[in-house]
Amino acid sequence: MSNPRNPERLLEVEELDVAYAAIQVVWAVTLSVRRGEVVSIIGANGAGKSSTLKAIAGLIPSRSGKIVFDGHEVTSESANDRVRHHLSLIPEGRQLWPRMTVEENLLMGAFPAHLRPGAYKNLDRIYDLFPRLKERRTQLCGTLSGGEQQMCAIGRGLMAEPVLLLLDEPSLGLAPILVDQVFQLIRRIAAEGVTILVAAQNANYALQISNYTYVMEWGRVLLEGPSDELRSSDHVRRAYLGATA
């Protein structure tokens, strides 16, 4: 059932605080993601982007605040329950099983019981999206290139049939030509109807592919607005796009 207050909003986060034990890393973050959009969170390393995504996915608890996904409050739900609601996180660093094959890694994305009946049908869809993975399906993930590993991580996330896909630093550590390919792929996934929230240090690409952007600094949202408008912001241009004047 959709949220009667904001039926067009797939995700609403209100006043989110996140801490690791006694150390608070996110303060009062409020953001929303509309259905069918790509929304980005940009900021330097340590700005709180990853912690925000992990809290939304249920991997770490929120100290306070509220998370509503697809009309359901999920603030206190487990990560598994959020996957059942079709919310999927692709973590920073890919976190694949290096001694398992590409296909075994992909099938782990459909590990929850409710996803298993359609696993091989979804696998075919992933291979259509990533022909390279089909070529490498029997290869151990630890022997793949960085770009191929990122494709596999994204494919594994898509195996969960997400309505909302959370992408944490999808281009980190990749060569420039591969960065371009990864962000083109994000565009393609969005065009197929998956709503995306992406956290990235690469502000230039994130602003290009997204409809709306939040700028995080020191654990707080400093700026927000349509991505096209933020590209013209003096602060964003100086701090994230390399402008000198």
Q: What is the mean pLDDT of the chain?
A: 91
The pTM is what? 0.89
For the segment 64-94, what is each residue's pLDDT rounded down to a tens digit? 999 999 999 999 999 999 998 999 999 887 7
Please state the rounded mean pLDDT for residues 201-205: 92
For the segment 155-170, what is each residue's pLDDT rounded down to a tens digit? 999 998 999 999 999 8
Could you tell me the two tokens for 112? 């929850």
**Percentage of the chain modeled with pLDDT above 90:** 72
**Quick one: which of 122, 171, 121, 173 has its CA closest to 151?**
171
In CATH terms, the fold of domain 1-86+162-233 is Rossmann fold (3.40.50)
For the segment 24-69, what is each residue's pLDDT rounded down to a tens digit? 999 999 999 999 999 999 999 999 999 999 999 999 999 999 999 9
Task: Specify whether the CB–CB gap between 231 and 40 falls below 8 A.
Answer: no
For the segment 8-21, what is each residue's pLDDT rounded down to a tens digit? 899 999 999 999 99
Q: 193 burial class (0-12, 13-18, 19+ CB within 10 angstroms)?
A: exposed
- In this prediction, residue 245 carries a pLDDT of 44
CB neighbours (10 Å) of residue 177?
Answer: 8
Q: How far is CA 153 from the centre of its chain?
A: 11
**Quick one: which of 178, 194, 73 has its CA closest to 126?**
194
Residue 120 binned pLDDT confidence (cut-offs 50, 70, 90) = confident
Please state the rounded mean pLDDT for residues 95-106: 94
Say yes or no to pLDDT of 114 above 60. Answer: yes
Q: Where in the chain is the domain with CATH 3.40.50.300?
A: 1-86+162-233
Written as one letter, the residue type at 52 is T
